[in-house]
């Protein structure tokens, strides 16, 4: 930052406009952005590069461009039964969490936003405050609870735990969203004789679609990526999700199979990034809402 | 608490003053709101509220041997914890981890938020792209950083090689492993920090900056005396959040080093995990978990107090 005024009087308002000045200004905007792009994408690019090399080449050629371009690593990962079962589990747990979170979040948020009932503030506080509990605080208790209730090593356990962890966020986002839908529309429908179910089905749900998508995506992301609880709550490959399978791959003895690990990582990351780019504006809005008052 | 009240009172834009109607007024059964909110309240209570409270309570018990019923031991789990050198090692490692991540994360977050703020035309695309590290799992991030920081084939050491520096075997080195852990953690946490600070920058009234420009303030002076003070609330929130994330977060360390080499990255959550799932001393682990929760609450209070001293309104 300090170098930005180099070459100019200390109190110069802006650099003099000229060919050099214009170049200078563009660099002032462009260089930090370039650094941001480097910071964000170098890990992805390096990993993709390694995933396209052979095992031998990873040690022989340190450059970013593979000399012996090969997709063997991807082929190995995709035909590996550990990967396919983990991928399936991730899909099931992710979809289950997304669906369950929206199903329990939607009516709760609707009630808090639309109805005036005794204990409304207190109950909302009860729903939102546990959001502050970190995973480390529930790790052992949840594990012991799962052991006692014979729920260890089941996909449904993961779905339920993730749903509980995400419910505060879902309610928080949707209450804010419902507050912004004018009440008049529903009142008009009420006057026209629509009952509660009809109002929700034909007015609230279509209007709430962006919020529902946001929550479903955030819930899916959590279930797709969460690692610590999977490590603790699952014991067999039949229930383990992708992060666990990738972790196991890295733990294996002998010379590291870097292309394999890299390819595995890229495959778990790419589908979600692709989905995200389609609906990015909802997600960004969802993340920034509530982060600042 | 105020945030909760605000959220319930928020008005639609241009809307008239509205208080929600009671169920009865809208022709519903009075129990409807309770039935609607019950599943969410139940889920949150069963998964978050109850376990965390039960965990704190059970940290006062202990089984004399594995498999025997637990007995009340008072604060003995805590006194044992505080006399264990491994605990003090983990506290020390956590202190380095939290402080390091806060310094690296906040400075990079500020720098990149300013960068994005100036990128008017390309803002949307760049902001979306910036979020990529947030979308991937800690394990995938760990794999990426293990490759980047690999002693033999990593780009970091090739880069250092250009300057004639012989880089260490980062993750196998007791001194340098923590550096890699901090950078990996910051890399995954930074998107949210940037979004938060960028949101703050966008709410700053530009007339202040215009006035400063007219008065001849340099870019550095504008940042130092205007933008950063005006950004203080967001800086406090991002500090609270980064500190929470690094003090209680387990995923990155677990996936990257597992606490090694030789305990040099064994931060408190990692130590808790080892006590619980390697030594199977669950109640002792709960004592450490409780300690982490209390420390996190105290740190949050501290940040807010310090911010108040500098007259930051949060």
CB contacts, 8 Å: B127 with chain A: 284
Degrees to nearest 5, angle at CA B245 with B242 and B247 = 100
Torsion of CA B257, B258, B264, B269, to 10 degrees: 130
Tens-place pLDDT, residues A70-114: 888 899 899 989 899 999 999 999 999 999 999 999 999 999 988
DSSP 8-state secondary structure symbol assigned to residue B171: G
Contacts of B158 in chain A (CB under 8 A): 62
Q: How far apart are CA A46 and CA A29, in angstroms?
A: 26
Residue A70 phi/psi, 5-degree rounding, is -145, 145
- Answer whether residue A14 shows pLDDT above 90: no
Q: What is the mean pLDDT of each run of 10 residues along chain B (314 residues)?
A: 60 48 58 91 94 94 82 90 94 96 96 84 76 91 92 84 86 91 96 90 82 83 83 92 94 90 93 94 94 95 89 68
- pLDDT above 70 (res A6): no
State the Rg of chain A over Cα: 25
Q: By the 8 A CB rule, do A73 and A263 touch?
A: yes
**Count of CB atoms situated within 10 Å of the CB of A14:** 11
| Partner-chain contact A227 B138, CB within 8 Å | yes
Rg (CA), chain B: 24
Residue from A41, A136, A266 to probe the interface with B (highest B Cβ count within 10 Å): A136
Which residue, among A232, A143, A137, has the nearest Cα to B57 in the 3D structure?
A: A137
Q: Are B93 and B238 in contact (CB under 8 A)?
A: no
Task: Tell me the chain A residues in contact with residue B8 when contact means C-beta distances shorter than 8 Å.
Answer: 112-113, 120-121, 124, 175, 179
In whole angstroms, what is the distance from residue B36 CA to residue B51 CA?
A: 23
Instruction: Give the model's pLDDT for residue B207.
Output: 83
* pTM of structure: 0.88
Q: Does A145 lie at the interface with B, CB-CB under 8 angstroms?
A: yes
CB contact under 8 A, B44 and A107: no
Q: What percentage of chain A carries pLDDT values higher than 90?
A: 42
Could you tell me how many helices (H) and strands (E) chain A has, helices first? 14, 0
| B88/chain A closest Cα distance in angstroms | 18
Q: How many CB pairs under 8 A join A and B?
A: 354
d(CA B202, CA B205): 8
How many CB atoms are closer than 10 A to CB B122?
Answer: 13
Contact predicate A230/A158, CB 8 Å: yes
Reported as a pLDDT band with limits 50, 70 and 90, residue A228 is very high
């Amino acid at each position: 930052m300090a170098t930005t005024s180099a070459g100019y009087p200390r109190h110069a308002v802006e650099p003099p406009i000229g060919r050099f000045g214009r170049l200078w200004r563009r660099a002032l905007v462009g260089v930090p952005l370039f650094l941001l792009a480097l910071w964000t994408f170098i890990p992805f690019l390096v990993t993709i590069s390694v995933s396209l090399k052979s095992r031998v080449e990873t040690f022989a050629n340190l450059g970013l461009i593979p000399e012996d371009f090969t997709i063997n690593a991807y082929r190995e990962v995709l035909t590996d039964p550990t990967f396919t079962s983990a991928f399936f589990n991730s899909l099931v747990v992710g979809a289950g969490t997304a669906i369950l979170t929206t199903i329990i979040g939607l009516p709760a948020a609707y009630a808090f936003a639309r109805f005036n009932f005794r204990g409304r503030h207190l109950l909302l506080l009860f729903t939102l405050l546990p959001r502050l509990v970190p995973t480390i605080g529930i790790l052992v208790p949840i594990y012991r609870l799962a052991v006692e209730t014979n729920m260890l090593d089941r996909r449904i356990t993961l779905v339920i735990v993730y749903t509980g962890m995400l419910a505060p966020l879902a309610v928080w986002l949707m209450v804010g969203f419902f507050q912004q839908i004018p009440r008049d529309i529903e009142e008009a429908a009420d006057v026209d004789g629509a009952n509660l179910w009809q109002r929700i089905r034909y007015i609230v749900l279509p209007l709430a679609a962006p919020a529902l998508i946001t929550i479903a995506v955030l819930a899916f992301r959590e279930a797709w990526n969460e690692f610590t609880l999977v490590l603790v709550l699952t014991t067999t490959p039949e229930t383990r999700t992708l992060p666990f399978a990738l972790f196991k791959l890295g733990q294996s003895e002998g010379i590291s199979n870097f292309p394999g690990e890299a390819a595995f990582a890229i495959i778990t990351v790419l589908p979600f990034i692709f989905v995200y780019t389609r609906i990015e504006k909802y997600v960004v809005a969802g993340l920034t809402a509530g982060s600042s008052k | 608490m105020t945030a909760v009240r605000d959220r319930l009172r928020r008005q639609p834009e241009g809307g008239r003053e509205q208080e929600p109607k009671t169920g009865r007024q809208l022709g519903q059964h009075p129990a409807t709101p309770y039935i609607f909110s019950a599943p969410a309240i139940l889920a949150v209570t069963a998964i978050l509220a109850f376990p965390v409270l039960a965990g704190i309570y059970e940290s006062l018990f202990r089984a004399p041997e594995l498999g025997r019923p637990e007995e009340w031991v008072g604060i003995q789990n805590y006194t044992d914890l505080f006399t264990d050198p491994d605990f003090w090692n983990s506290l020390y490692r956590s202190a380095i981890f939290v402080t390091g991540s806060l310094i690296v994360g906040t400075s990079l977050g500020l720098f990149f938020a300013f960068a994005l703020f100036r990128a008017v035309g390309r803002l949307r695309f760049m902001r979306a792209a910036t979020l990529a590290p947030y979308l991937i799992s800690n394990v995938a991030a760990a794999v990426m950083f293990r490759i980047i920081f690999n002693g033999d084939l990593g780009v970091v050491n090739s880069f250092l090689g250009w300057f004639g520096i012989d880089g260490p075997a980062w993750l196998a080195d007791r001194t340098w492993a923590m550096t890699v852990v901090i950078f990996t953690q910051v890399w995954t946490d930074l998107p949210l920090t940037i979004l938060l600070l960028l949101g703050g920058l966008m709410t700053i009234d530009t007339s202040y900056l215009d006035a400063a420009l007219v008065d001849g303030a340099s870019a550095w002076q504008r940042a130092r005396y205007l933008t950063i003070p005006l950004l203080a609330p967001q800086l406090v929130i991002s500090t609270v959040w980064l500190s929470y994330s690094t003090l209680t977060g387990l995923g990155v360390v677990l996936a990257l080093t597992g606490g090694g080499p030789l305990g040099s990255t064994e931060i408190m959550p990692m130590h808790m995990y080892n006590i619980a799932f390697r030594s199977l001393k669950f109640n002792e682990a709960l004592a450490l978990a409780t300690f982490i929760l209390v420390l996190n609450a105290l740190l949050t209070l501290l940040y807010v107090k310090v911010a108040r001293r500098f007259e930051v309104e949060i």
